[in-house]
Amino acid sequence: MTLLSRQRIPLPDAILSLCLIAVAESEVWLGWHDGGDGVPGGPRWVEAIVLAVPAVALAWRRRSPTTTAVVIGGASVLQVAAVARYAPFLPLLLPLLLANYANAAHGRSRIRVLGLAAVAGGVAAVVGLIPEARTSSEALFSSVVVAGSWLVGDVVRQRQQRLEIVEAARDEWACAAVAAERVRIARELHDVVAHSVSVMGVQAGAARMLLDQDVAKARHALASIEATARDSVAELQRLLTILRTVDSDELEPQPTLSDLPALAAATRAAGLAVHLEADARAARLAPGPSLAAYRIVQEALTNVLKHARATRADVRVAVAGDALEVEVADDGRGVALRRRRGHGLIGMRERALLYGGTLEAGRRGDGGFTVRARFPLGGRST
């Protein structure tokens, strides 16, 4: 197993080669043939070696398909031309066809023709030198088999190439989607920070004016400035470490959890019955998590409208202990996750991770689909 691991030979390929070697050696040493059509064969030890070559080479057909085809084709010619007028199916012809398929499916484009020529030469030698194989029907059948194994391998090759192109395009799209979503989140966070700084400016002005008139009110304004500044610093740190900056002229005001009733009403107007259960404390959360939670609910409801064919969606927003919980569940047909892995799901997960939260999305046991997010609120002001 150490040798096989080092050579990277799959275990099924190794087992196949060992079985073919056993069959080949049995045919040679147990005297199952006399050379074919009464023609004496060569020395048995020579034939034993020649018939073992295709079985051994077949184990490398995935790593070196063209070389494998050339070796097996050459062994076929040597067998029928110099050793014996006999071409056993399992030890010789089957490896020839498998090598032809592997060469078409996995060989390099520029040298695949060498392997095809070797296989064609081996088959031509079998048909031309074995008397009972010289009929036109045998020649036609051999040509069809060689061409068919090549065409099947070539179809598999083209399919693999298309899959690789699609996979590469999907990876590029996913990267672009993540980048675009982060830019959008950056704009929203920038707006939140700008709002916080403006509030601090107003509160600082009020504190300055009240400092000589009402110390208690001035102290309260300063405490508010402190809390707002703490939240703003946290937002700026996330903005600088996770997201890239954008121009401030592209910023637009963004909603929070207090705008969920309006979102639910708009969704109802679109034809989906929405039941909203929102904890009043959620509306007083810091702007960042509130914005992220709102966007998750918005995107989840959009997915329900577009994909689920649902009649009802239940939205629950609650503050449980030190965490904000957001859940959107519908009674639709439970669309598979692969059809929902678009921009929206990527964005929802990015928003949750941005604030140290988690997001789960999947089908429910009784039908429908559920999106569930959880945001830790420890250390954040409300």
Residues 7 and 130 in one domain: yes
In a domain, 140, yes or no: no
Q: Which value, to the nearest 10 degrees, does the dihedral of the CA atoms of residues 37, 38, 41, 44 take?
A: 100
Residues 205 and 212: their CA atoms lie apart, in Å, by 13
Residues 128 and 16 in one domain: yes
Query: Mean of the per-residue pLDDT values for the chain?
Result: 78
β-pairing, 369-376 vs 273-278, is unpaired
At 34, the pLDDT band (50, 70, 90 cuts) reads very low
Closest-CA residue to 316 (of 330, 305, 328): 328
Query: pLDDT exceeding 90 applies to what percent of the chain?
Result: 9
Residues 262 and 367 in one domain: yes
Q: What are phi and psi of 271, to 5 degrees?
A: 110, 5
At 191, the pLDDT band (50, 70, 90 cuts) reads low
Residues 6 and 130 in one domain: yes
In a domain, 270, yes or no: yes
Q: How far is CA 25 from the centre of its chain?
A: 45
pLDDT score for 50: 86
CATH number for position 243:
1.20.5
pLDDT score for 113: 87
Whether 380 has a pLDDT exceeding 50, the answer reads no
Residues 350 and 272 in one domain: yes
Q: Provide the domain limits for residue 312.
A: 257-376
β-bridge partners, 341: none
| Lookup result for tokens 């520029």 | 110
Whether 181 has a pLDDT exceeding 80, the answer reads no
> Looking at 202, 225, 250, which one is the last position of a domain?
250
Query: pLDDT exceeding 70 applies to what percent of the chain?
Result: 78
> Looking at 217, 250, 283, which one is the last position of a domain?
250
154: left (phi over 0), alpha (psi -120 to 50) or beta: alpha
pLDDT score for 299: 85
In a domain, 145, yes or no: no
In a domain, 143, yes or no: no
Residues 274 and 216 in one domain: no
Residues 211 and 102 in one domain: no
In a domain, 214, yes or no: yes
Q: Kindly provide the b/e burial profile for residues 12-31, where b requires at least 16 CB atoms within 10 angstroms of the residue's own CB.
A: ebbebbeebbebbbebbeee
pLDDT score for 379: 42
In a domain, 144, yes or no: no
Residues 279 and 234 in one domain: no
Q: What is the pLDDT of residues 265-300, one digit of tens each?
A: 888 876 788 999 998 888 788 877 888 898 899 888
Residues 203 and 240 in one domain: yes
CATH number for position 287:
3.30.565.10
Residues 215 and 291 in one domain: no
In a domain, 215, yes or no: yes
The residue ranking higher by pLDDT, 342 or 249, is: 342
Please tell me the total count of domains within the chain. 3
The residue ranking higher by pLDDT, 27 or 245, is: 27
Residues 362 and 340: their CA atoms lie apart, in Å, by 10
Residues 224 and 204 in one domain: yes
Closest-CA residue to 272 (of 234, 238, 298): 298
> Looking at 250, 276, 304, which one is the last position of a domain?
250
In a domain, 205, yes or no: yes
Residues 146 and 199: their CA atoms lie apart, in Å, by 79
pLDDT score for 381: 38
Residues 235 and 359 in one domain: no
Neighbouring C-beta atoms of residue 233, cutoff 10 Å? 12
Determine the length of the chain: 382
Q: What is the mean pLDDT of residues 139-168?
A: 86
